[in-house]
Chain A
Protein backbone atom coordinates (compact mmCIF):
# COMPACT_ATOMS: atom_id res chain seq x y z
CA UNK A 1 0.00 0.00 0.00
CA UNK A 2 1.33 3.43 -0.97
CA UNK A 3 1.84 5.69 2.04
CA UNK A 4 3.09 9.25 2.39
CA UNK A 5 3.32 10.57 5.95
CA UNK A 6 4.15 14.22 6.52
CA UNK A 7 5.61 15.62 9.73
CA UNK A 8 7.24 18.77 11.03
CA UNK A 9 4.32 21.18 10.87
CA UNK A 10 3.45 23.52 13.71
CA UNK A 11 3.44 27.12 14.85
CA UNK A 12 6.30 29.32 13.63
CA UNK A 13 6.85 33.06 13.94
CA UNK A 14 7.05 35.32 10.89
CA UNK A 15 10.62 35.32 9.60
CA UNK A 16 11.32 31.97 11.21
CA UNK A 17 12.23 28.60 9.74
CA UNK A 18 10.68 25.15 9.63
CA UNK A 19 11.50 21.86 7.93
CA UNK A 20 8.78 19.53 6.73
CA UNK A 21 9.47 15.84 6.13
CA UNK A 22 7.58 13.17 4.23
CA UNK A 23 8.21 9.46 4.74
CA UNK A 24 7.31 7.33 1.74
CA UNK A 25 6.55 3.61 1.65
CA UNK A 26 4.82 1.03 -0.53
CA UNK A 27 6.35 2.15 -3.83
CA UNK A 28 9.73 2.69 -5.49
CA UNK A 29 10.36 6.20 -4.18
CA UNK A 30 13.34 6.90 -6.44
CA UNK A 31 11.19 6.28 -9.52
CA UNK A 32 8.79 9.15 -8.89
CA UNK A 33 8.83 12.92 -9.03
CA UNK A 34 7.78 14.43 -5.69
CA UNK A 35 5.93 17.63 -4.84
CA UNK A 36 4.68 19.84 -2.06
CA UNK A 37 1.18 21.24 -2.52
CA UNK A 38 -0.54 23.47 0.05
CA UNK A 39 -4.08 24.43 1.00
CA UNK A 40 -4.32 27.80 2.79
CA UNK A 41 -7.30 28.20 5.12
CA UNK A 42 -10.41 29.21 3.20
CA UNK A 43 -8.57 29.17 -0.13
CA UNK A 44 -7.78 26.80 -2.98
CA UNK A 45 -4.97 24.36 -3.66
CA UNK A 46 -1.56 25.76 -4.59
CA UNK A 47 1.41 23.81 -5.92
CA UNK A 48 4.61 24.82 -4.11
CA UNK A 49 7.57 22.83 -5.46
CA UNK A 50 8.62 19.74 -7.40
CA UNK A 51 11.80 17.66 -7.45
CA UNK A 52 12.92 15.16 -10.06
CA UNK A 53 13.67 11.51 -9.46
CA UNK A 54 17.37 11.98 -8.72
CA UNK A 55 17.02 15.42 -7.17
CA UNK A 56 18.79 17.25 -9.97
CA UNK A 57 15.70 19.12 -11.20
CA UNK A 58 13.78 21.46 -8.91
CA UNK A 59 11.06 24.02 -9.64
CA UNK A 60 9.21 26.38 -7.35
CA UNK A 61 6.24 28.69 -7.38
CA UNK A 62 7.43 32.29 -7.57
CA UNK A 63 6.19 33.30 -4.12
CA UNK A 64 8.53 30.82 -2.36
CA UNK A 65 11.54 31.06 -4.69
CA UNK A 66 14.64 31.85 -2.64
CA UNK A 67 12.89 31.09 0.68
CA UNK A 68 11.92 27.41 0.37
CA UNK A 69 14.10 24.48 -0.69
CA UNK A 70 12.89 21.03 -1.71
CA UNK A 71 15.17 18.01 -1.35
CA UNK A 72 15.00 14.23 -1.13
CA UNK A 73 16.95 11.26 0.26
CA UNK A 74 16.28 8.28 -1.99
CA UNK A 75 18.23 5.93 0.27
CA UNK A 76 15.85 6.68 3.15
CA UNK A 77 12.67 7.30 1.10
CA UNK A 78 12.33 10.82 2.49
CA UNK A 79 11.20 14.13 1.01
CA UNK A 80 11.90 17.49 2.66
CA UNK A 81 10.79 21.10 2.43
CA UNK A 82 13.06 23.62 4.13
CA UNK A 83 11.02 26.77 4.78
CA UNK A 84 12.94 29.95 5.63
CA UNK A 85 11.79 33.52 6.24
CA UNK A 86 8.18 32.34 6.47
CA UNK A 87 5.29 34.78 6.11
CA UNK A 88 1.68 34.79 7.27
CA UNK A 89 0.53 33.79 3.78
CA UNK A 90 2.55 30.57 4.05
CA UNK A 91 -0.01 29.35 6.59
CA UNK A 92 -1.56 26.21 5.11
CA UNK A 93 -1.91 22.47 5.21
CA UNK A 94 1.11 21.13 3.30
CA UNK A 95 0.69 17.89 1.34
CA UNK A 96 3.43 15.60 0.12
CA UNK A 97 2.49 14.37 -3.36
CA UNK A 98 4.14 11.82 -5.63
CA UNK A 99 3.65 11.03 -9.27
CA UNK A 100 4.89 9.97 -12.65
CA UNK A 101 6.25 13.13 -14.18
CA UNK A 102 4.02 16.08 -13.43
CA UNK A 103 0.96 13.97 -12.57
CA UNK A 104 -0.11 13.96 -8.92
CA UNK A 105 -0.75 10.26 -8.38
CA UNK A 106 -0.80 9.91 -4.59
CA UNK A 107 -1.09 12.27 -1.64
CA UNK A 108 -0.27 12.28 2.04
CA UNK A 109 -2.76 13.40 4.69
CA UNK A 110 -1.02 16.75 5.15
CA UNK A 111 0.64 18.68 7.95
CA UNK A 112 -0.51 22.11 9.19
CA UNK A 113 1.91 25.03 9.22
CA UNK A 114 0.74 28.16 11.05
CA UNK A 115 2.77 31.35 10.77
CA UNK A 116 1.85 33.74 13.55
CA UNK A 117 3.41 35.82 16.30
Chain B
Protein backbone atom coordinates (compact mmCIF):
# COMPACT_ATOMS: atom_id res chain seq x y z
CA UNK B 1 0.00 0.00 0.00
CA UNK B 2 1.16 3.56 -0.72
CA UNK B 3 1.33 5.57 2.51
CA UNK B 4 0.65 9.30 2.25
CA UNK B 5 2.11 11.53 4.96
CA UNK B 6 1.05 15.15 5.33
CA UNK B 7 2.66 17.88 7.37
CA UNK B 8 1.92 19.82 9.41
CA UNK B 9 -1.22 18.43 11.07
CA UNK B 10 -2.44 22.01 11.50
CA UNK B 11 -1.32 25.54 10.87
CA UNK B 12 -2.53 29.05 11.63
CA UNK B 13 -1.84 31.75 9.06
CA UNK B 14 -2.70 35.45 9.02
CA UNK B 15 -5.14 36.74 6.42
CA UNK B 16 -3.31 37.60 3.23
CA UNK B 17 -0.30 35.45 4.08
CA UNK B 18 0.83 32.14 2.57
CA UNK B 19 0.00 28.63 3.78
CA UNK B 20 2.16 25.69 2.72
CA UNK B 21 1.14 22.05 3.13
CA UNK B 22 3.46 19.17 2.38
CA UNK B 23 2.62 15.64 1.28
CA UNK B 24 5.03 12.74 0.92
CA UNK B 25 4.24 9.37 -0.62
CA UNK B 26 5.98 6.11 0.28
CA UNK B 27 6.62 5.40 -3.41
CA UNK B 28 6.75 7.41 -6.60
CA UNK B 29 3.42 8.53 -8.05
CA UNK B 30 5.02 9.40 -11.40
CA UNK B 31 4.05 7.42 -14.47
CA UNK B 32 4.26 8.44 -18.14
CA UNK B 33 5.24 11.99 -17.12
CA UNK B 34 2.20 12.44 -14.88
CA UNK B 35 1.96 12.44 -11.08
CA UNK B 36 -1.18 10.69 -9.80
CA UNK B 37 -1.77 13.10 -6.90
CA UNK B 38 -4.77 15.28 -6.02
CA UNK B 39 -5.55 17.85 -3.35
CA UNK B 40 -8.95 18.21 -1.69
CA UNK B 41 -10.45 20.88 0.55
CA UNK B 42 -13.10 19.87 3.06
CA UNK B 43 -15.20 22.23 5.18
CA UNK B 44 -17.32 21.03 8.13
CA UNK B 45 -20.55 19.37 7.07
CA UNK B 46 -19.61 19.40 3.39
CA UNK B 47 -18.17 16.76 1.06
CA UNK B 48 -14.59 17.29 -0.09
CA UNK B 49 -13.97 19.57 -3.04
CA UNK B 50 -11.14 18.79 -5.43
CA UNK B 51 -8.72 21.67 -5.97
CA UNK B 52 -5.81 20.17 -7.90
CA UNK B 53 -5.23 17.00 -9.96
CA UNK B 54 -2.14 15.58 -11.72
CA UNK B 55 -0.31 17.28 -8.83
CA UNK B 56 -0.45 20.76 -10.36
CA UNK B 57 -3.54 21.19 -12.58
CA UNK B 58 -6.09 23.47 -10.96
CA UNK B 59 -9.74 22.41 -11.23
CA UNK B 60 -12.18 24.67 -13.08
CA UNK B 61 -13.35 27.54 -10.88
CA UNK B 62 -10.64 27.12 -8.23
CA UNK B 63 -9.03 30.48 -7.39
CA UNK B 64 -5.49 30.88 -8.67
CA UNK B 65 -4.22 31.49 -5.12
CA UNK B 66 -4.27 27.68 -4.83
CA UNK B 67 -1.30 25.98 -6.50
CA UNK B 68 0.17 22.50 -6.47
CA UNK B 69 3.77 21.52 -7.09
CA UNK B 70 6.16 18.62 -6.76
CA UNK B 71 6.77 15.29 -8.45
CA UNK B 72 7.66 11.71 -7.63
CA UNK B 73 7.22 11.41 -3.87
CA UNK B 74 7.18 15.00 -2.60
CA UNK B 75 4.33 17.41 -3.17
CA UNK B 76 3.18 20.80 -1.90
CA UNK B 77 -0.09 22.71 -1.83
CA UNK B 78 0.37 26.46 -1.50
CA UNK B 79 -2.41 28.87 -0.62
CA UNK B 80 -1.24 32.38 -1.39
CA UNK B 81 -3.04 35.40 0.05
CA UNK B 82 -5.08 33.31 2.53
CA UNK B 83 -8.75 34.27 2.72
CA UNK B 84 -11.25 33.62 5.53
CA UNK B 85 -13.16 31.17 3.32
CA UNK B 86 -10.02 29.00 3.00
CA UNK B 87 -10.40 27.74 6.57
CA UNK B 88 -10.77 23.99 6.07
CA UNK B 89 -9.03 20.64 6.25
CA UNK B 90 -6.86 19.84 3.23
CA UNK B 91 -6.03 16.32 2.06
CA UNK B 92 -3.65 14.92 -0.50
CA UNK B 93 -4.59 11.61 -2.14
CA UNK B 94 -2.86 9.25 -4.55
CA UNK B 95 -4.71 7.61 -7.40
CA UNK B 96 -1.72 5.67 -8.72
CA UNK B 97 -2.84 2.29 -7.39
CA UNK B 98 -5.30 0.52 -5.09
CA UNK B 99 -5.86 0.89 -2.27
CA UNK B 100 -6.41 4.59 -3.04
CA UNK B 101 -4.99 6.41 -0.03
CA UNK B 102 -5.27 9.83 1.58
CA UNK B 103 -2.90 11.81 3.72
CA UNK B 104 -4.01 12.41 7.29
CA UNK B 105 -5.21 15.94 6.59
CA UNK B 106 -4.00 19.44 7.49
CA UNK B 107 -6.28 21.84 9.32
CA UNK B 108 -5.81 25.45 8.21
CA UNK B 109 -6.98 28.22 10.52
CA UNK B 110 -6.69 31.99 10.69
CA UNK B 111 -4.11 33.40 13.08
Give the interface of A toward B (CB within 8 A).
35, 39, 44-47, 50, 59-62, 95, 101-105, 107-110
Contact = CB atoms under 8 A, between A and B. Distances in A.
Contact of A45 (B48, B95, B98): B48
Interface in B1-32: 1
Considering residues B38, B47, B53, B98, which has the most beta carbons from chain A within 10 angstroms of its beta carbon? B47
Given A59-B98, A102-B95, A104-B93, A44 B47 contact: no
Nearest to A107: B47
Interface in B77-96: 89, 91, 93, 95-96
Nearest to A63: B99
Contact of B104 (A44, A47, A61): A44
18 contacts: A39-B42, A44-B89, A44-B104, A44-B105, A45-B91, A45-B102, A47-B93, A47-B100, A62-B1, A62-B99, A102-B36, A102-B98, A103-B95, A104-B40, A104-B48, A107-B47, A109-B46, A110-B47
Contacts of A47: 93, 99-102
A8 to B, nearest CB: 17
Nearest to A46: B102
A61 B99 contact: yes
A59 B104 CA distance: 21
A54 B36 CA distance: 24
A39 B47 CA distance: 10
